[in-house]
Structure formats: structure tokens, C-alpha cells
């Protein structure tokens, strides 16, 4: 199967992992990268806009700084390696794309840039304008300032979130392997390749968290998490091998995660979020009402965890797990006072006219 042909995919996000960009000695694999850039150039001529999510900064910086464990021995080492390696990474991409008369741009983002709605919209506007101008954005997590608590941690999920922001029509995760298998092919010769996945949850147990190269920060687990974000926003995602020249050309075996029905942009952003300020726990009846399209009423809420403010993103936890994400209409303290109470009781409890729901259906996305 062809990977998202230009005729059917106007805008494509391609994630390139560290093991593909950087050799075991910490140098750039320029010959291979030149073939990928040639693919990008061909697609640009055919009218496709390409956005690149590029790993490799930490691995490149660690070599130049002589840091142990590929720059991942400590958070400080990783931050220093990222700051040093990112300038090298951007220069290589710019030089190779420039050889095809394609301008490159660098965007470094943090988790907060795509979790905060206003900053997300700013990033979306920048990506849209760059793509419209024929520029290839080179995106990476800003590891020089990110901490363990406020970071994506892998560029697979970052690519899926960027695809949402960019209004992309497809995502390709170039990897060590050519897709998803029902067992780890490195350890099981009988492992079976799965070409098409209709539901991410149906294959979640097959994922292996190990990174084959030791350079990356994810494995198949992070790729399935990325697939869940992408397809939930109506964007198909493919996992394909980057261990070949011209990885975006011709017929390539890969695993395709089929997109779900396209969600409204705001709800897709809510569903794809990776952080939450707290949680509202609900009973089975409330979970069923949410699935039918209702708002979350206080009568069906059983507990509040975390400390959040009105307008913060929270998860809704049902008896069987997380059922939705949404923006709270109340502070956590107020929400606790309303637990299990009917609407006609709430004015007396709060001392003012209550809002219609703990989370209104217009600000809620089912998972």
C-alpha cells in the first residue's frame, strides 16, 4: 500500500525517530536522510504539504558533549544535550531541504503549548501559515526546558497532537519496524504483521514498550497512544519502516489505523489532551447518560479528586474507567459540595444560581 499519496492527503505529518536520524556513534545518517528529503520534495511538487516531527536532538548533543548513556543519565544532561543537538539537527534539515529549494522552519513546543487552548490555537495558526507558504516545519519537543512532569516524553504522541493542530489528513510514524505485530518480531519469528487496525483498543495488549535502538523514548506503546489521539480526531495514522531508502516512496508494507468519524475541532482537542487538573467520578447511570449525549449533572457524580478551577480540563471517571474529558463548570471545592445533589437543591447549597452542569456537553468529549 502507498503511504498517504498526495492526491488523497493534502497535508501530512511525518515523525522521524532518533534511531533513523542518528547512527550508533552519535552522527547524523545524512545519506539516508537525503533520501527521505527527496521523498518530501517529490510530494511537495505533487501538491502535498509535509510537516516533520524530528527526534534526534538529545542523541546528537550527547555525542558533542561526551555525555554518558546517550545524554539520558539525568534530566540536566538531557536538557543540555537537547539544547546542543537541536541547533545541529535544524541545520541539517535546513541544508538538505534547501538543496531542493524548500525552505525549512523550526518550531520547538512544550506540552503546555498544545494543552493550553489559546497556545494551541496560536501553534495551529503558525503551522497553517508555514504550510501555506510552502515551508516545511521541523518540530521537536523543547527538551531543553521540559521536565519529567510537563513533557510529552515521546515524539509519537507529539506527532499526533501536531497533526490535530496542523489540520493534517494523515500521520506517518517512521519506525524501526514496518508496523504492528501480534507479538514482538525481534523475539518471536512467528509474529504476524497486522496491516489494518479498525480499533486501537482491540490491539492494545500487543504493544511492547521497549525501544529497539535504545536511543528513543517510546516503543509500540507510545505509537498506540499516538494512534488513539490521531484517529479520535479523524486522522488516519500509519506505522512504517524507516530502515529503507526513500521510505515514503512506492508500495511500502505498514500498519494503518483507520480514522474514526471526524470530531469537531474543539472536542478533538479535548479528547486528545494528555493532562488533566483533576477528575470527577460518576456512577453507571451518569456514564450511560454521557454516552447518550447528555451533560454531566451533579446528581450522578460520586467523588472529586484533584484541585481544579472553573474552566480547567478534567477527566470523567466511570465504574469501568475514563469515559470523557471536559472543562469543569465549577471549582473542585464547589463541585464537592454538589456531589449527588439534584439541580433544585443547588442554589441553597451554593448561595447563588447554579450552572446547568458540572461539565456541559458542549465542553465535553467522550473517549
Beta partners for 138?
52, 106
Does 55 count as an annotated binding residue? yes
Does 258 count as an annotated binding residue? no
End-to-end C-alpha distance for the chain, whole angstroms: 30
**Distance (Å, whole) CA 54 – CA 42:** 19
| Relative orientation angle of helices 75-98 and 30-45, to the nearest 10 degrees | 50
Does 1 count as an annotated binding residue? no
Does 218 count as an annotated binding residue? yes
CA atoms lying within 13 Å on the CB side of residue 212: 15
Q: Return the closest-CA partner of residue 260 out of 228, 294, 214.
A: 228
Does 184 count as an annotated binding residue? no
Cell numbers standing for residue 316: 470523567
Does 267 count as an annotated binding residue? no
**Distance (Å, whole) CA 242 – CA 28:** 15
Does 26 count as an annotated binding residue? no
Does 39 count as an annotated binding residue? no
Q: Return the closest-CA partner of residue 240 out of 260, 216, 256.
A: 256
Does 217 count as an annotated binding residue? yes
Binding site membership: which residues?
Answer: 15, 55, 143, 155, 175-176, 217-223
Binding site membership for substrate: which residues?
Answer: 55, 143, 155
Binding site membership for ATP: which residues?
Answer: 15, 175-176, 217-223
Amino acid at each position: 500500500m502507498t503511504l498517504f499519496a498526495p492526491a488523497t492527503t493534502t497535508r501530512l505529518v511525518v515523525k522521524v525517530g532518533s534511531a533513523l536520524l542518528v547512527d550508533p556513534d552519535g552522527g547524523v545518517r545524512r545519506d539516508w536522510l537525503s533520501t527521505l528529503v527527496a521523498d518530501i520534495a517529490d510530494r511537495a511538487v505533487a501538491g502535498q504539504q509535509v510537516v516533520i516531527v524530528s527526534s534526534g536532538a538529545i542523541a546528537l548533543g550527547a555525542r558533542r558533549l561526551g555525555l554518558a548513556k546517550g545524554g539520558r543519565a539525568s534530566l540536566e544532561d538531557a536538557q543540555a544535550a537537547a539544547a546542543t543537538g537541536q541547533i545541529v539537527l535544524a541545520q541539517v534539515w535546513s541544508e538538505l531541504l534547501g538543496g531542493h529549494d524548500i525552505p525549512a522552519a523550526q518550531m520547538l513546543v512544550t506540552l503546555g503549548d498544545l494543552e493550553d487552548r489559546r497556545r494551541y490555537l496560536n501553534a495551529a495558526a503558525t503551522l497553517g501559515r508555514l504550510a501555506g507558504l510552502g515551508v516545511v516545519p521541523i518540530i521537536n519537543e523543547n527538551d531543553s526546558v521540559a521536565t519529567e512532569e510537563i513533557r510529552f516524553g515521546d515524539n509519537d504522541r507529539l506527532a499526533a497532537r501536531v497533526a490535530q493542530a496542523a489540520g493534517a489528513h494523515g500521520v506517518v510514524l517512521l519506525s524501526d519496524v514496518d508496523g504492528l505485530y501480534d507479538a514482538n518480531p525481534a523475539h518471536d519469528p512467528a509474529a504476524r504483521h497486522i496491516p489494518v487496525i479498525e480499533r486501537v483498543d482491540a490491539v492494545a495488549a500487543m504493544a511492547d514498550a521497549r525501544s529497539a535502538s535504545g536511543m528513543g523514548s517510546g516503543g509500540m506503546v507510545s505509537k498506540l497512544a499516538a494512534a488513539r489521539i490521531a484517529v479520535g480526531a479523524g486522522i488516519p495514522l500509519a506505522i512504517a519502516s524507516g530502515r529503507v531508502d526513500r521510505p515514503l516512496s512506492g508500495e511500502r508494507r505498514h500498519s494503518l489505523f483507520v480514522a474514526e468519524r471526524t470530531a469537531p475541532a474543539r472536542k478533538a482537542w479535548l479528547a486528545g489532551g494528555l493532562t488533566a487538573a483533576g477528575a470527577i467520578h460518576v456512577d453507571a447511570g451518569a456514564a450511560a447518560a454521557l454516552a447518550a449525549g447528555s451533560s454531566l449533572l451533579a446528581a450522578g457524580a460520586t467523588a472529586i479528586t484533584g484541585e481544579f478551577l472553573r474552566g480547567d480540563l478534567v477527566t470523567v471517571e466511570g465504574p469501568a474507567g475514563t469515559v470523557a474529558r471536559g472543562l469543569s463548570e465549577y471549582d473542585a471545592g464547589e463541585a464537592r459540595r454538589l456531589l449527588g445533589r439534584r439541580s433544585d437543591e443547588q442554589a441553597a447549597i451554593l448561595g447563588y444560581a447554579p450552572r446547568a452542569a458540572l461539565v456541559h456537553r458542549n465542553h465535553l468529549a467522550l473517549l
